Amino acid sequence: MITIKEIASQLGMSTTTVSNVIHGKTREVSPATIERVQKFLKEVDYVPNINARNLALQRSKMVGVVLKAPEDKYVSALADPFVSVMLSSIEKTLRGAGYYMMVYISDDIAEILKNIASWNVDGLILFYMLDDDASRVSAKFSKPIVCIDAYYQEDIGDFYVVGLDDENAAYHATRYLIENGHTRIGYLCDGNEITSVNYQRFHGYRRALKDAGLEYSDRCLFLVRPEKEELLKSLGKICDKAGNVTAVFCMSDLYAKMLICALTDRGIRVPDDVSVIGFDDNLYAQLSRPGLTTVHQDVEKRGTVATQTLLNIIAGNPPAERRIEMKSELVIRDTVCRAN
Amino acid sequence: MITIKEIASQLGMSTTTVSNVIHGKTREVSPATIERVQKFLKEVDYVPNINARNLALQRSKMVGVVLKAPEDKYVSALADPFVSVMLSSIEKTLRGAGYYMMVYISDDIAEILKNIASWNVDGLILFYMLDDDASRVSAKFSKPIVCIDAYYQEDIGDFYVVGLDDENAAYHATRYLIENGHTRIGYLCDGNEITSVNYQRFHGYRRALKDAGLEYSDRCLFLVRPEKEELLKSLGKICDKAGNVTAVFCMSDLYAKMLICALTDRGIRVPDDVSVIGFDDNLYAQLSRPGLTTVHQDVEKRGTVATQTLLNIIAGNPPAERRIEMKSELVIRDTVCRAN
DNA sequence: TTGTACGCGTTATCAA
DNA sequence: TTGATAACGCGTACAA
């Protein structure tokens, strides 16, 4: 790794001149010198030391992508298709703009904050933060923040959100089930409580029930545990309670697929005995047979929008609204049939 | 972001002392001072500037994870389940050891090299490099390198490989088909040529044919184009040629699933008309019905082993062998039946 | 036990 | 048109 200093010394000139040529500040350098330097640079294959540059410039050309996720999930954070597609799109956009992506995963906000500060990243993309988490981060981190899947509440912090029309999506999916004659409709999600995105979707689900004059019952709320050792077990328990409902609306394609497998393996037919709707419409939903009826969202685009929004804020052009909302769409395939 | 200098000044002592306390070099500091400094550190929430530290220490505590992948694949690099599970496991292991992961994706080795040099990473994990690529990287990058899916050839470069028993895996999968009465067996992979991993698997496939006294025919080699606009089309073409074979061995679960969908949608039944075997046994293979017969590999473990190997080399304990081989295993499910 | 001073590689300011 | 020189923040010989 040759340094500017070394180059300057070998060429018998000052580091300033070399640096100027490297950065194209050529209006103050003689053509002959430019020529000489550029030739030499090619020759020795000069590459700048990013750490030194970051130190000098007080910025990093790095964007931190932070996933708040527990360690022991059945499907680890990065392996989740929603996350991986999003990440892929973020990385692509970032790279196209000359930025680097630093991924950090933790369940501990304090630890996350420490790392962010350490690396001096220029901006942050946050996944899966609850409102409170995002606020805590934004209180400590004064640079631009964009959240995926968080609900911005007035005065709660300085960050932007690129979200989905979750409430509406759930409303329409549920209504579709109701239109097909279902009256006892399950809602399946993970965790112990209904937060953030789930809250919105759950709300949409309940609104649809209410609008149709149906009563919500706790017996229709299916909570699965996402942990490695628990997920399958808790899905099994849900299968035992499948008689409570004729249809289930799941918060992800993965859970929908897993539920279908669990039901099928127990001799409960989908959709004949139980109808199922998923969420996301990822590649594997598209490849499953019978085709999964699900809510489609364009994750790739959402990643691009989120990243572009962040880059814009960094560049000093924040969007007008705190929250940007992408549209989803119900995709009707073969896992919902008329209730008997 | 408070600095050591600032702390020292506020405490009326030197930076050395503060630094020493931070790094636990306390045998040369008086207990009273330690106490004072530590209390103050807590108070102001000191976080070191990593760029400055890296610059001073000439290392980065960063490991570069490089994917050589074209931009326009149907499934982008990070979204591939094999990659995302591997990445997840790499990240976890790295983080546990106090290292950071920097992901870089490109199809251009020169560009990759530039970035590696810039960031001054302590080590490299390479995905999808052909032998020649890995050699080129190792020629320029003098620090430890571990490859996933590359075949080490004597004297070709200074890197380690954490691979799979690909030849054997393909041999056994193919033999399983032969035992089920299949004689015309297709081999499906992507690209224009058979390289690296594919070469090994292809070799195993042909060896199995040969051992059974079957002749290999080019008409059984199904090459799909991985590009976004091409993949579906080329799968369609393969379906047209499905009559050539009674079984197909696919290089990934994804291709197997896509092939099955394409066949099914054309009224060709799996496995009744055509048997299919996949490779990897990822989550989605496990969740597909009929269950996909496939070659299982423990991707998570492989990621851990690769990362641990790299960390060991960095720590000065390289493994005895250049190549570490993980074991795979044929998982028999429902997409293979006896040939008529 | 503590402090001074320098190097790491780059950029920026200002003087020559 | 070019060159010294000082920052950026940290770690560490070496001196006190």
Contact A185, A178 (CB under 8 A): yes
Does the beta-carbon distance from A287 to B78 stay under 8 Å? Answer: no
Whole-number pLDDT of residue A19: 92
Assign 3-class secondary structure to chain A.
CCCHHHHHHHHCCCHHHHHHHHCCCHHHCCHHHHHHHHHHHHHHCCCCCHHHHHHHHCCCCEEEEEEECCCCECCCHHHCHHHHHHHHHHHHHHHHCCCEEEEEEECCHHHHHHHHHHHCCCEEEEECCCHHHHHHHHHHCCCCEEEECCCCCCCCCCCEEEEECHHHHHHHHHHHHHHCCCCCEEEEEECCCCCHHHHHHHHHHHHHHHHCCCCCCHHHEEEECCECCCHHHHHHHHHHCHHHCCEEEECCHHHHHHHHHHHHHCCCCCCCCCEEEEEECCHHHHCCCCCCCEEECCHHHHHHHHHHHHHHHHCCCCCCCCEEEECCEEECCCCCCCCC
- C14 C1' to A1 CA distance, Å: 30
Whole-number pLDDT of residue A193: 67
How many interchain CB pairs under 8 A, A with B?
A: 126
Report d(CA B27, CA A314) in Å as an integer: 45
Whole-number pLDDT of residue A8: 92
Question: Which residues of A, range 113-152, sit inside 8 Å of B by Cβ?
Answer: 114, 117-120
Does the beta-carbon distance from A1 to B120 stay under 8 Å? Answer: yes
Does the beta-carbon distance from B71 to A92 stay under 8 Å? Answer: yes
CA distances from A106 to B42, B109, B174, B324 (A): 21, 32, 43, 30
Task: Specify the pairing of strand A329-331 against strand A294-296.
Answer: antiparallel
State the nearest residue by CA to the C1' of D6. Answer: A56
Residue type, A324: I
Chain B residues within 8 A of A89 when measuring between CB atoms: 76
Chain A residues within 8 A of B257 when measuring between CB atoms: 284, 287
> Which residue has tokens 């499948």?
A242
Q: What string of pLDDT tens digits covers the 340 residues of chain A? A: 789 999 999 999 999 899 999 988 876 788 888 999 999 998 888 999 999 999 999 888 999 999 999 888 999 999 999 999 999 999 999 999 999 999 999 999 998 998 888 888 999 999 988 768 888 899 888 899 999 987 766 667 889 999 999 999 999 999 999 999 999 999 999 976 666 678 889 999 999 999 999 999 999 999 999 998 899 999 999 999 999 999 999 999 999 999 999 999 999 999 999 999 999 999 989 999 899 999 999 999 999 999 999 999 999 999 999 999 999 999 999 999 999 7
Contact A101, A65 (CB under 8 A): yes
Residue A48 approaches strand C within 7 Å at CB: yes
Question: Which residues of B, range 273-312, sit inside 8 Å of A by Cβ?
Answer: 283-284, 287-289
Of chain B, the end-to-end C-alpha distance in Å amounts to 73
Whole-number pLDDT of residue B28: 72
Tell me the shortest Cα–Cα distance from B52 to chain A, in angstroms. 6
Report d(CA A176, CA B137) in Å as an integer: 55
User: What residues does A294 pair with on adjacent strands?
Assistant: A278, A331
> Which residues are within 8 A (CB) of B148 and not within 5 positions of it... i.e. 6 or more apart?
B86, B125, B126, B127, B128, B161, B162, B163, B302, B306
Residue type, B86: M
> Which residues are within 8 A (CB) of A45 and not within 5 positions of it... i.e. 6 or more apart?
A2
Choose, out of B67, B74, B103, the residue to mutate when testing the contact with A (most A CBs < 10 Å). B103
- D15 C1' to B16 CA distance, Å: 13
Residue B84 approaches strand D within 7 Å at CB: no
Contact B302, B148 (CB under 8 A): yes
State the nearest residue by CA to the C1' of D9. Answer: B52
- Whether the per-residue pLDDT at B192 is higher than 70: the answer is no
Whole-number pLDDT of residue A115: 87
Name which of B1, B95, B284 is nearest A284 (Cβ-Cβ). Answer: B284
- Whether the per-residue pLDDT at B340 is higher than 80: the answer is no
Tell me the shortest Cα–Cα distance from A210 to chain B, in angstroms. 34
Report d(CA B114, CA B124) in Å as an integer: 13
Residue B326 DSSP symbol: E
Query: pLDDT digit string (tens) for B81-133?
Result: 999 999 999 999 999 999 999 999 999 999 999 888 888 899 999 998 876 88
